[in-house]
A and B are shown apart, each in its own frame.
Chain A
Amino acid sequence: MSDALAQEQAKARAVDVARNAYGRLLALLVSRTRDVAAAEDALSEALTRALTTWPTQGVPNNPEAWIFTVAKNRLFDDARRAKRWGASPLTELEEMTAPTPETNVPDRRLRLMFVCAHPAIDESVRTPLMLQVILGLDADTVGRAFLVPPRAMAQRLVRAKRKIKAAGIKMRDPDPEELPARMGAVLEAIYGAFATEEDDGLRSEAEFLARMVVALAPGDPEALGLLARILYAKARVVPAAVFVPLSERDPETWNRDEIAEADALLAKARRARQLGRFQLEAAIESVHCARIHTGVTDWTALVFLYEGLMHLAPTIGAAVARAAAVGEARGAEAGLRALSLIDESALETFQPAWATRAHLLARAGDPVAARAAFARAIELTERESVRAYLSQQRARLDR
């Protein structure tokens, strides 16, 4: 193997550990120090050092433990210098063992999430804070997702971390009576991780965290709904170089076990008779997945479910998805009418609105307007495969 290749591989390995172990390692470090910002700094320094030393000295046998130990030592040195945290947490920190496949260190991520969801933390920052500390997303990405300017978001996040440290909010499993008040923000963050981007790492992280929440609160219908929602989507993931819209995907390629598990979770959630946003989201996915049994998509049911979603959790995405479903259930004209009822200014830069409008116009027999809508949709699309698909659809208008 050439040196250059070995260096590339070492670098890739460091990035890989950063991606897969970030939240787990950070939660472990914070569990002793309560200082989220200091733990973040130490962890990021350890990851940087891995990026520079692994390519020349080789990847250690246990990369995760290596990074953890470097971060821990850095925290320990800092604390000793500043005489922070008093004697006992310092000793605990020193005695902490690095996570190795053999030691089976308990996963502290959920505890850290419940710290972020503490009622003493400003409500608007709870979910963003979780996305940052558990998933390592930067303030820019989190800010974009919450439509807050990056600098304002960064300030809120810094303030929240300072509060956790100064007020002495400790990591521990929440009492059962504390769960309901904190559950909402925790589920939001997991869903955010799942939906932020088409990122496999974040998606499997979201599934893992959702399973942990369900294990902690097996009767919570929204937690069940969220896990079902994630599994339905995962069941349909087929690696493909080209983009295929959901309605054209072949159900034979879907994962029946995952769909069955999601069905069971959703059925269990329904028995609580407490409808919520994530159960509706899951129900929508279940209608799509039902095609594996029935061969058809029940668009009328989807219209109904999207209307429920717009009522419980009104978003521009739900309104546009409803219009698309109306277009399938009652014809393209009806779909366009539904789309025209949505606030125009909100749709201007919303890619799904333009893609939906283009398809509906094409089906309604207005190729000129459809072409313009496709052009706008393509302009707003970031993913190359989706752009290619939309261009193909536009080209069909000319035939």
Chain B
Amino acid sequence: MRYTLFLHSDESQAANFSEADWAEIKTAYGEYIGMLREAGVFLDTDWLQPSNTATTITLKDGARRIQDGPFASSKEQMGGYFVIEVDDLDTALAWAEKCPAAHTGVIEVRASAM
């Protein structure tokens, strides 16, 4: 089954990161991606710009409406995701647990409906 791990965290923390902190974070994620690839479960990942750079668009009220800002504003925002192919929820949770983001935020795990 294909699972997506949504990484939610408090974006305001990032403002205090030093150069060295960022280097450490990059190394940690690099290692994590390496583990996923080695296990043959890696499908995709991305690291997103902060939510205050988000733009929303909708046609649902009949007109095209574009707005500045994220869809929902809350303290914890989705900052990135991983897509993995594993057998079951427990295996997906085990991989989510190893993700560096688990230490600083919350990871939402959802199975593909396709």
* Cross-chain contact A167 with B87 (CB below 8 angstroms): no
- Of A120, A167, A168, A169, most B-chain CB atoms within 10 Å: A168
* Cross-chain contact A170 with B87 (CB below 8 angstroms): yes
**Closest A residue by C-beta to B1:** A168
| A120 CB to nearest chain B CB (Å) | 6
* Cross-chain contact B111 with A166 (CB below 8 angstroms): yes
Rounded to whole angstroms, the CA-CA distance of A297 and B36 in the bound complex is 64
B61 CB–A CB distance under 8 Å:
no
The residues of A that contact B93 with a CB separation of less than 8 Å are 120
| B32 CB to nearest chain A CB (Å) | 22
| A190 CB to nearest chain B CB (Å) | 23
| A119 CB to nearest chain B CB (Å) | 9
The residues of B that contact A168 with a CB separation of less than 8 Å are 1, 3, 87-89, 92, 111
* Cross-chain contact B88 with A169 (CB below 8 angstroms): yes
Interface residues of A in 331-390 (CB under 8 A from B): none
Partner of A169, one of B3, B90, B113: B90
The residues of A that contact B109 with a CB separation of less than 8 Å are 167
Partner of A170, one of B3, B88, B110, B113: B88
Number of residues from A at the complex interface, CB < 8 A? 8
The residues of A that contact B90 with a CB separation of less than 8 Å are 169-170, 172
| A288 CB to nearest chain B CB (Å) | 42
Number of residues from B at the complex interface, CB < 8 A? 12
| B89 CB to nearest chain A CB (Å) | 5
Rounded to whole angstroms, the CA-CA distance of A98 and B2 in the bound complex is 31
**Closest A residue by C-beta to B2:** A168
**Closest B residue by C-beta to A119:** B93
**Closest A residue by C-beta to B91:** A170
- Quick one: CB contact mask for A146-182 with B, threshold 8 Å, 1 for yes? 0000000000000000000011111010000000000
Interface residues of B in 36-89 (CB under 8 A from A): 87-89
**Closest A residue by C-beta to B110:** A167
* Cross-chain contact B113 with A166 (CB below 8 angstroms): yes
| B88 CB to nearest chain A CB (Å) | 3
| B21 CB to nearest chain A CB (Å) | 32
The residues of A that contact B111 with a CB separation of less than 8 Å are 166-168
| B12 CB to nearest chain A CB (Å) | 30
- Of A118, A166, A167, most B-chain CB atoms within 10 Å: A167
Rounded to whole angstroms, the CA-CA distance of A355 and B109 in the bound complex is 53
**Closest A residue by C-beta to B111:** A168
Rounded to whole angstroms, the CA-CA distance of A167 and B96 in the bound complex is 14
Rounded to whole angstroms, the CA-CA distance of A172 and B88 in the bound complex is 10
Rounded to whole angstroms, the CA-CA distance of A166 and B93 in the bound complex is 15
The residues of A that contact B87 with a CB separation of less than 8 Å are 168, 170
Rounded to whole angstroms, the CA-CA distance of A169 and B111 in the bound complex is 10
| A336 CB to nearest chain B CB (Å) | 54
- Quick one: CB contact mask for A167-205 with B, threshold 8 Å, 1 for yes? 111101000000000000000000000000000000000
| B95 CB to nearest chain A CB (Å) | 13
The residues of A that contact B113 with a CB separation of less than 8 Å are 166
- Quick one: CB contact mask for A266-280 with B, threshold 8 Å, 1 for yes? 000000000000000
| B106 CB to nearest chain A CB (Å) | 14
Rounded to whole angstroms, the CA-CA distance of A118 and B93 in the bound complex is 12
Rounded to whole angstroms, the CA-CA distance of A309 and B74 in the bound complex is 45
The residues of B that contact A166 with a CB separation of less than 8 Å are 111, 113
| A149 CB to nearest chain B CB (Å) | 30
The residues of B that contact A120 with a CB separation of less than 8 Å are 89, 93
Rounded to whole angstroms, the CA-CA distance of A43 and B109 in the bound complex is 31
| A211 CB to nearest chain B CB (Å) | 26
Rounded to whole angstroms, the CA-CA distance of A172 and B92 in the bound complex is 15
Rounded to whole angstroms, the CA-CA distance of A168 and B113 in the bound complex is 10
The residues of B that contact A172 with a CB separation of less than 8 Å are 88, 90
Which B residues are within 8 Å of any A CB, using their own CB? 1, 3, 87-90, 92-93, 109-111, 113
Beyond known contacts A120-B89, A168-B92: 18 more, CB 8 A cutoff: A118-B89, A166-B111, A166-B113, A167-B89, A167-B109, A167-B111, A168-B1, A168-B87, A168-B89, A168-B111, A169-B88, A169-B89, A169-B90, A170-B88, A170-B89, A170-B90, A172-B88, A172-B90
Which 5 pairs, one residue from A and one from B, show the smallest C-beta to C-beta distance?
Answer: A170-B88, A168-B1, A169-B89, A168-B111, A168-B89
- A sample of 21 cross-chain residue pairs with beta-carbon separation below 8 angstroms, ordered by A number, consists of A118-B89, A120-B89, A120-B93, A166-B111, A166-B113, A167-B89, A167-B109, A167-B110, A168-B1, A168-B3, A168-B87, A168-B88, A168-B89, A168-B111, A169-B88, A169-B89, A169-B90, A170-B88, A170-B89, A170-B90, A172-B90
